[in-house]
Amino acid sequence: MSVKVATGRIRVGKYELGKTIGEGSFAKVKFARDVDNGNHVAIKILDRKHVLRHNMTEQLMREISTMKLINHPNVIKIFEVMASKTKIFIVLELVNGGELFDKIASNGRLKEDEARNYFQQLINAVDYCHSRGVYHRDLKPENLLLDSNSVLKVSDFGLSTYSQKEDELLRTACGTPNYVAPEVLKDRGYVGSTSDIWSCGVILFVLMAGYLPFDEPTHMALYRKIGMAKFSCPSWFPPQAKKLLKRILDPNPLTRIKIPELLEDEWFKKGYKQASFTEEEDLSVEDVAVAFNVSNENLVTERKEKPVYMNAFELISGSQSFNLDSLFEKQKDQVKRETRFTSQCPANEIMFKIEEAAKPLGFNVQKQNYKMKLQGDKSGRKGHLSVATEVFEVAPSLHMVELRKTRGDTLEFNKACENSFIHKYMSHDIISGSKFCRH
């Protein structure tokens, strides 16, 4: 595998890397293009040293192998795995419609038929995974993506487990607290399939209500409420939906509804379409082993002499529903985790001004090329706020600046952007005459 640099871009094998479209604690996801056929994909990039330092090799090999063995239209597809001496590259299906979480955050609760349709797709995916011994264990709207046709795709199997024995109890308490089943919180062992069903029930409630069924200011109060399955449905829930939710959000995993029963439920069956796809034979995970084998690596040289160039497709796909108006126009009253604005200033001047604005606000700044990490020194509602910043070249005299929340509370990020970052940028000549957007 070779890595080449051309026009400010990095090339890995046959893939040309573009802008970062996602970032987490242990990896980042970049937009990429297959130079052989022009197809667009997403590439998840893992730092090998970080993986080894945190003893994550076995977990990540399990995650990647799990995804390669899953072939379903409602589950993110993994195409191949490559490696260099310093990084592991996972080539994934590109999904442009954003997270289901964003749809709820932007528009509030969904209409009954729309909520049911997404729930049906989720159950189709979960049922398929369970039939292959795969249990997700961290199902939540943030891990449910939508493509341009509103087809739901389950992602992030980082907390999944693969087990051939359904009666084997899992003992790792993981997942997001608001969506986790009571038996998981008690840490006395649990069955992966029934805990996933509970999480699906919480997701259904959120889709139809626009808020969580279990939500308390402290973990102790939250766990107590979940343990008793203490929740109430809003008045607009139809009786059949309320009845189904009571059966799904049953605190006793032994009596909780199973998927075969759920598939026969009257409310669930309305407009139901079974997933149609062709099974792939001889799915291989050999490239996964190769990616983690030191003897099969090639050296990687990554170098950028100017900001990454953002082409028209990336510019459009960065906007929800491919609507260019929302890319450069401010949208009010939306809770978003990304902020963008354009500037005609030189890239190095933009970087300097951002650093100048961030430091007085208590952010520690780390710079590399035309990227910057801003780490808050104060702990907020969900820990320290962390913001990733990158400057892209849209045209020779026009740059786009993107700020993404990578850690911390989304509302705190929005407040920082509204009251501090963007306000300060707007007061400088750095973006004089430019436009601003929220995404």
pLDDT digits (tens, 9 = 90+) for 317-327: 555 444 444 44
pLDDT band at 162 (very low <50, low <70, confident <90, very high): very low
State yes or no: pLDDT of 66 exceeds 60.
yes
What per-residue confidence (pLDDT) applies to 295? 59
DSSP 427: H
Structural domains in the chain (count) = 3
Annotated binding residues for ATP, as ranges?
44
Q: Evaluate whether residue 106 is within a structural domain.
A: yes
pLDDT band at 418 (very low <50, low <70, confident <90, very high): low
Q: How big is the CA angle at 60 (ends 132 and 127), to the nearest 5 degrees?
A: 20
pTM (2 decimals)?
0.64
pLDDT band at 186 (very low <50, low <70, confident <90, very high): confident
Q: Do 238 and 143 have their domain in common?
A: yes
pLDDT more than 90, % of the chain: 21
Q: Evaluate whether residue 300 is within a structural domain.
A: no
- Quick check: helix, strand or coil at residue 392? strand
- How far apart are the C-alpha atoms of 271 and 180, rounded to whole Å? 28
Q: Do 106 and 87 have their domain in common?
A: no
How high is the mean pLDDT of the chain?
Answer: 77
CB-based contacts of 239, cutoff 8 Å, min separation 6: none
Q: Evaluate whether residue 274 is within a structural domain.
A: no
Q: Do 140 and 250 have their domain in common?
A: yes
CB-based contacts of 192, cutoff 8 Å, min separation 6: 130, 135, 137, 161, 163, 170
Q: Do 114 and 154 have their domain in common?
A: yes
The pLDDT tens digits of the residues spanning 214-238 come to 988 888 898 899 999 999 999 999 9
Q: Do 82 and 113 have their domain in common?
A: no
Query: Maximum Cα–Cα distance for the chain, whole Å?
Result: 64
Q: Evaluate whether residue 49 is within a structural domain.
A: yes
Q: Do 51 and 108 have their domain in common?
A: no
Q: Evaluate whether residue 285 is within a structural domain.
A: no
Q: Do 158 and 106 have their domain in common?
A: yes
Active-site hit among 34, 102, 127, 138: 138
The answer to whether residue 250 is catalytic is no
Q: Is 122 exposed, middle or buried (0-12, 13-18, 19+ CB in 10 A)?
A: buried
> Which CATH number do you get for residue 69?
3.30.200.20
User: How many CB atoms are closer than 10 A to CB 420?
Assistant: 16
Q: Do 249 and 380 have their domain in common?
A: no
Q: Which residue has the tokens 């003893």?
A: 55
Average pLDDT over residues 370-399: 81
User: How many CB atoms are closer than 10 A to CB 228?
Assistant: 11
Range in 19-28, 35-44, 106-115 with the lowest mean pLDDT: 19-28
What per-residue confidence (pLDDT) applies to 214? 92
State yes or no: pLDDT of 367 exceeds 50.
yes
Q: Do 373 and 264 have their domain in common?
A: no
What per-residue confidence (pLDDT) applies to 235? 94
State yes or no: pLDDT of 396 exceeds 80.
no
Q: Do 104 and 220 have their domain in common?
A: yes
Q: Please name the amino acid found at residue 116.
A: R
Tokens of 32: 């990429």
State yes or no: pLDDT of 142 exceeds 50.
yes
> Which CATH number do you get for residue 404?
3.30.310.80
